[in-house]
Amino acid sequence: MNDSPGTPDSPSTRDGRAVAPPTPPAPARRPAKNQPTKATKAAVGAKGAAAGRSRAKKAAGATKQSGAGPGAAGTRTRGIGSRSPTGSSSAAAPPEPSVDGSIGGGAIDPGPTPSGGPWRGGPRRRLTLYDRGIQTANERWPVVPRSLARLFRHPDLVLALLGKRAAVERDGRVLNRSTQALVELTNRFGREPDGSPEAARRYDPVLMRTQLRRAARAVMPVRTDVHVTGRVVPRPNGAPDMGVRIYRRFGSGLGRRRRDLLPAIVYFHGGGWVTGGLDTHDPTCRILASTSRCLVVAVDYRLAPEHSFPAAVDDALAAYAWVHRHTGELGIAEGQVGVMGDSAGGNLAAVVAQETRNGGPAAVADLPPPVAQGLVYPVADVRFDTESMETLGDGFLLTRDTMEYYRGEYLPHRADWETPRASPLLAGDLSGLAPALVVTAGFDPLRDDGANYAEAVRMAGVDVEYRCYDDQIHGFMVMGVLSDSLALTTEVCDSMGRLMRRSAPKGPLA
């Protein structure tokens, strides 16, 4: 038997058999630097579990207080949409509101109601400071408006780059700095030089409508807590039917009981009777419906020069009559219909209020006048001989030349300028009109139009609330890219809702 040990490079032998040397123990593994140990992981896990139980209790309590369903408590709001705790898309989130082109009869479908209320994402509301204003979970900001909003958050920098550091002052009023930056950028880059081939098409109505529609998409956020439906309304004298767009806030006016019925606002868009439409004022109408808690009916009236005066007035009266005659179908509280408009739309709203008070044409002879009227920087006198038109008629986006062009297309016959249907300020009797909210802007050529009309109806014994936003320009209601303008738009819409509720006959409103 060979008892000699084997060589280091070969296995040892025992009884003629090879025996492998014992395996040395593996060295102890040391945790990597900054890597948690098992004890640390256990402590973190216990802490996370306790925090999870605490969040669950809070969510359950919020659900119990708000009356929401059990599924809403576990939903978190992220941006615009909502996601479940597992990260998957929540099935309870409502679809994006769409414009339905249906023309049939029957009740308007108010659309699905998100769980927990009209804000997407359940009962929890996520408010984020945004551009000195509020961006909410029910606003969708396309890329361009969001980028512009960030740009106008620093107006002093923009004005410095443009070489326009000095503040703009007129009649003791100082222009808002963000608005000044927008005006300077538009005047510098948004207008064709006089005498250029492009300037010759500056007043092409088709081109103007296209540009305004594109601009509206670029400067306004879109609220998503409003359900939108399209309908068709017959026009007088056998003219082709016109479209209307109906806005209803999610969760409002869903039933047919009296307390479920909504007051309604018939809205006429601005644009000098030549431009504008349902698309350009869609974001504004969404804000109005959501903030005022009223059903909003936007009217696509005929435009000049294809249809000159009084086509727009006839369409406005026809739309008002249609809303009144379909209150039950639309879920509108009986007799609680108001009118509202901006710029040229404010002119039409004032005319409708006067025509229905006087009995008006056959289309509205048997209908009551509106319970309230909202006139936002309205055209009250198309003669344009006011002081504000002289001092502010150039340099603030809306110019005297543009207004005279609009007047020439809409009112080609000078004899019509002084009729109350064209210039409501010139009506002989202004008594008995609906309570009015009149809003003007300090740097608007039409400022004196609104101020004079408010004073005239006040002297006639009408209840008037007049506001002049001294640091704003014409059109601020469609400039949501500026945080101050967006806040003022919301304020005006809220004031209109309050006026509707204050002026309506006694009874529960939504």
- Please confirm, yes or no, whether 449 is among the known catalytic residues: no
User: How many residues does the structure list for the chain?
Assistant: 510
| Beta strand spans in 6-132 (E) | 12-14, 17-19, 76-78, 81-83, 127-130
Active-site annotation holder among 315, 444, 448, 449: 444
Q: Determine contact, residues 447/439, Cβ cutoff 8 Å.
A: no
Catalytic (active site) residue 401: no
| Annotated catalytic residue, options 290, 292, 343, 485 | 343
**Does 178 participate in catalysis according to the annotation?**
no
Nearest-10 Cα torsion for 125, 126, 127, 130: -150
User: Of 328, 344, 347, which is closest to residue 398 (Cα–Cα)?
Assistant: 344
End-to-end CA distance of the chain: 108
CB 270 within 8 A of CB 343: yes
Out of 292, 308, 474, 484, the active site residue is 474
Q: What is the biggest distance separating any 2 CA atoms in the chain, rounded to whole angstroms?
A: 138
Contact 244, 99 (CB under 8 A): no
At a CB cut-off of 8 Å and minimum separation 6, what does 505 contact?
335, 336, 371
Give the separation between CA 221 and CA 199, rounded to whole angstroms. 30
DSSP bridge partners of 248: 227
Contacts of 93 (CB under 8 A, 6+ apart): 81, 82, 114, 120, 121
Residue whose C-alpha is closest to residue 241's, from 304, 318, 327, 148: 318
Contact 484, 178 (CB under 8 A): yes
**Which residues are identified as catalytic?**
343, 444, 474
